[in-house]
Every structure is written in structure tokens, then in C-alpha cells.
Amino acid sequence: MDTRRQLGEFLQTRRSQLRPEDVGVATYGDRRRVPGLRREELALLAGVSASYYSRLEQGQASNASPEVLDALAGALRLDDAERRHLHELASGGRRRGAGRRPGPERVSPATRQLIATLGDVPVVVLGRRGDVLAWNTPGHALYAGHLAPDSPDAPRQRPNMARLVFLDAHTRDLYAGWAAKARAVVATLRMVSGRHPDDPLLAALLGELTVKSPEFAAMWADHRVKAGGDAVYEMRHPLVGTMRVTQQTLWTADDQTVVVATTEPGSPSHAAMTLLVHSAAAGRASAAQDHQPDAPARK
């Protein structure tokens, strides 16, 4: 991925979303041809030359210092995640050349221990591109009960959370506020793309989603970024009905995320989640029993 172009697009998008009155820029009633701030106005706020800032937006400069980037971040009123993303985009071209095909992602023993410790709480482990690397029985039942339970075990057939959200009808129906979930997925991929600009598998995923989903393409062009955190979603599960579910995202040392789903204790959502977890456990036990070889008959 061309990090210079991404840097320019990120700056341009953020500039267009910042109104002059938000930053104390006087307009004197003039008619503005572009939304948001003009290039020269943002450059003045950041304390850099207008010509240098223009080269950054046009992808013609790759040597922005951390001080300049911090000044631009302040002028654009970026939050911590956006500021980090800006620095990663600016340094992406200097970090490495053409990317090699990355090796398969694996779940560490420590992460598997965490999954086991959480027990009946739905858990899903995602790789840096959103591939489902592992889930426990409740996690599978909550997010993708229509898929095979062992599908994360086959690297070439692993479900991908972004594909599920944008291309899978079951997952789209699962979220009452689908657009909010979709934006969160895109924002996370934006952050990852800045951190790993030379990942060919990530580039292929982004290209596939852009072609197959106009909604993804529109959200991707918005350049929103997001680094984990908590979110509450209304989920309409086909087996137990509607639940308000808090999804907490934890980052591991190997750039994977552990998504933990919880409900408010004592609430109807908690009762529905408990029913789903128990039903999933019973179904898994029944399936295991069916696959047991028949015991030899006694003589």
C-alpha cells in the first residue's frame, strides 16, 4: 500500500471535516469552494509553510519530522489513536520496502489460557487482519453459529470478521445498529493498514471488500481510525432474541485482539446470554457424544 498517498488522503479528509469556526479561523463571509479548512489555513495553524503542507497532501514529501506531525495533529484536533496513525503513515515508507508474504498467525499458549480461564464468557481471538484464529463455544454460538465450530482451525478457510460484517447476511442481521459495527471494523482496519503497510494479504482483503461492498468503500474513504476499546451493541440473536452486549477488545503482544462479550448482570440480556451459553454447551456435548464409538457389548 502507498503510505504517502494514504498520508495525503488522511490529512485531506481530516482537514475537510474541520470547520473554520471550530478553530477560530475568520472567514469574513467569503464563499468557500471546499468543505472545511483550506490548505494554507491549516498550515498556518500548524506553523508550517503552505507549500510544504501541500506536498504532504499530494504525497510528494516523505520526511516529515515528529515535531511537524505533532503540530499537524494538534491543528487537526486528532485524538490519540488518530495521532498514532498519522505517525505510522508518515514512517511507513521508511520502515521497510516491499513486503514479504507473512507467515500464518497462531494463538499463543498464554492467549489460549486466557480463553480457558474466561469459561462461559463468549471470546473470539482475531488476527491483525480480522481473521478468526480461535473462539470458545460461547463465542462461536454468539457470533457465528451458522459456521462450523472448527472453521478457525483451518488457516485457509478461517472466517474473517470484516468479511462477515460486510458480506455475510447472518452477521448483518445480528447487529441492530449494523452501521456502527461496520464503521468500527473499518476504523480498526485503517489503524492496522498504517501499522502494516506492506502486508499483501491485508491489501488483498481491502481490495476484495472495496470491490464487493460499496458500503465498505464509502466508509474506507472516510479515513476513520480506531484502536480497540469497548462498545455496546444491540444484537438480535436468532436463538435467544435481542441482547445488549458489551464487546471489550484486548490487544495481545503479538498484535492479535481478544474480543470478550459481556452483558449487565441481572438484566434480560444477561438471562438471554446465559441461555445461549448453556444451549451451546449442551449442543457441543451432544455432538461429541454422537461421535463416540459404540461401547462393546458385554458377554
Query: pLDDT digit string (tens) for 154-181?
Result: 888 899 999 999 999 999 999 999 999 9
The CATH homologous superfamily to which domain 3-95 belongs is lambda repressor-like DNA-binding domains (1.10.260.40)
pLDDT-derived band of residue 258, with 50, 70 and 90 as boundaries?
A: very high
pLDDT in the model for residue 181: 94
List CB contacts of 180: < 8 A, sequence separation 6 or more. Answer: 231, 233
| CATH architecture of the domain covering 109-290 | 2-Layer Sandwich (3.30)
Every domain of the chain with CATH number 3.30.450.180 lies at: 109-290
**Strands (DSSP E) found in 109-210:** 123-126, 132-135
Work out the mean pLDDT of the chain and round it to a whole number.
87
pLDDT at 28 over 70: no
pLDDT at 298 over 60: no
Cell numbers that stand for 56 in this block: 504532504
pLDDT at 64 over 50: yes
Every domain of the chain with CATH number 1.10.260.40 lies at: 3-95
Cell numbers that stand for 275 in this block: 441461555
Q: How many helices (H) and strands (E) does the chain have?
A: 13, 5
pLDDT at 299 over 50: no
pLDDT in the model for residue 1: 61
Strand ordering across the sheet containing 241-251: 132-135, 123-126, 257-262, 241-251, 229-237
Could you tell me if 117 and 175 are in contact, meaning their C-beta atoms sit under 8 angstroms apart? no
pLDDT in the model for residue 227: 66
List CB contacts of 82: < 8 A, sequence separation 6 or more. Answer: 14, 73, 76, 225
The C-alpha cell 485482539 sits at 257
More confident residue, 213 or 282: 213
List CB contacts of 228: < 8 A, sequence separation 6 or more. Answer: 188, 249, 250, 251, 257
pLDDT in the model for residue 283: 81
More confident residue, 15 or 139: 139
pLDDT-derived band of residue 195, with 50, 70 and 90 as boundaries?
A: confident
More confident residue, 15 or 33: 15
pLDDT tens column, 79-123: 888 898 888 888 875 555 445 566 788 999 999 999 999 989 999
Name the residue among 233, 218, 230 with its Cα closest to residue 173: 233
pLDDT in the model for residue 269: 98
- End-to-end Cα distance, the chain: 70
